[in-house]
Structure formats: structure tokens, C-alpha cells
Amino acid sequence: MVPPGSRKTGRFGIPAGQSRAAGNQLLRFLPKAAIEFIAPHLERVALTRGQSLFEPGDDVTHAHFPLDGAVVALVLPMQDGRVIEAATIGREGAIGGIVSLGSKPAYARAAVQIPGEAMRVSVARLEAAKRAAPRAHDVLVRYADCLTAQVLQAVACAALHPLEARCARWLLMTHDRLQQTELPLTQEALAEMLGVARTYVTRIATELKSRGAISYSRGTIRILSRSQLEQTACECYVSVRQHFDRVLPGLYPRPEH
């Protein structure tokens, strides 16, 4: 328990000690009235690797707020079975029904990329919270803007930048969200997110390892040098972070060096 008078709040946030908001930055940024309104209805759920929270065309009935090390990816499945990542969401955000009024059909698949836990609340209850605390609507719209920026940047990145730079960007974003050097990622999963064959990712991982940027073993990629990854990554990594900082300062996890 943080003593009264010493509680810290963000520009848009509520006291960091709020137990229901712990582990997710976006929940911590919601006004206290909104948290109190949804707190009795927040449910802690386990997210397993590969789990689908919703598929294209599904009615999105719940919003999920990933906690700590969990990461969910918005991916677009193609008819040939391949998928391509549009955005990743971790402790900084939420997925599903953030700005829409009521249940709406999903366009993409929400797939759990790194397992963990999330807080889940019905979209209907979240909408009621927006009405009870209008400032919550502002926070969620700002977050939706940040998520849209990430999607748009991913489109440009996939079209213009080499695979090595995209891979480094993805590893940096995952490192930010997990806040730990060991990332529970297989090369197969990374290749799937990037929409390429595993052989390409293996070649790039070997090159990054030779530079001292990463090491890897079965099912784990270890970050050894962020500076090496930052030199390899394209401008997209910094651009998205900067947009988060302009729109919702303090929301995006600070990178650990």
C-alpha cells in the first residue's frame, strides 16, 4: 500500500497503487471514477500461446487489457493460410471494443503471441464507464489513435524496409513490453508475425547473434545489446514510440537498457 500523499499519478492517470489497474498502463491512465465503475466487473483471465480472442467477423463482446508480460497480436489471416501482423498490444494497451459503441464485428484476428494474464471486461460495461466518467472516453480515443498509428506504420514498414530492420523493430517492441531480456519467442513465431519463411528469420537471427545483439536457444531469444538492435531497426520503432509520447505521455513502457 502506498501511503496517502505519496501516491503517483500520470498526466491522465489515477494512483499507481490502484490494485485493479496494476500491471496494465492503460487501466492506470483511466480516471478513478471509471476504474471504480468497472472494477467489480473486471475478470482476471489466463492467455495461452496461440489462443484467439476473436476472429474476423466475430462480434467483439469483451475488451482485454494484457498484464505485464502478455502480448497479443492483431493479425490478418490470408486465404493461403499465412498471417501478417498489423499491431501488437501489451501492458501499454487493450484490445477489443475500445472506441466502438457496443459489439462490432472484428476485421482481424486477435492472437496471443506471448502468454500471460489479462483483465477482461464486457464492452457494454466499458461503454457505461465512458458515460459515467467522460474523461475515460478521451483516454481511450487517444489510445485508439496510438494503435492506429502503429498499424499504419506497420504497413509502411512491411512495404519499404528490409526484413532485418523489421525483425529488430519487433524484438525492441517486445522487449519494451516484457521489460526483461529473455523473450519467450520461437523463430517460427517471429517468422509468422513477419509473414516470411522461417529460413529468412534464421539467417537474420544468426547475423544478429554474430554482432552480439541477441542469443537464442529453443523457444527463447535473449536481448544482449539494445544499442545493436536500435542501430539495425528502421525508423518505424522510434516513430511509433514518439507518437505514443505525444498523444498519451507516459503510456508506452520505457525501454530497459
Domains parsed from the chain with CATH numbers: 19-132 (2.60.120.10), 162-233 (1.10.10.10)
Give kind and range of the element (H or E) at residue 74: strand 71-77
> What b/e sequence results for 137-169 when a residue is b if at least 16 CB atoms lie within 10 Å of its CB, and e otherwise?
eebbebbbbbbebbebbbeebbeebebbbbbbb
- At residue 256, what are phi and psi to the nearest 5 degrees? -95, 130
pLDDT tens over the chain, length 257 residues: 333 333 344 444 444 334 555 689 999 999 999 999 999 999 999 999 999 999 999 999 999 999 988 999 999 888 888 888 889 999 999 999 886 655 678 999 999 999 999 999 999 999 999 888 989 999 999 999 999 999 999 999 988 999 999 999 999 999 999 989 999 988 888 888 888 888 999 999 999 999 999 999 988 999 999 999 999 999 999 999 999 999 999 999 876 66
Question: What is the spatial distance between Cα 16 and Cα 7, in angstroms, rounded to a whole number?
Answer: 7
Residue 113's CB is within 10 A of a number of other CB atoms, namely: 25
Q: Which three cell numbers stand for residue 173?
A: 517492441
Q: What is the pTM of this model?
A: 0.87
Rounded Cα–Cα distance for residues 82 and 97 (Å): 25
Q: What angle do CA 119, 253, 165 make, to 5 degrees?
A: 115
Other beta carbons less than 10 A from residue 12's beta carbon: 20
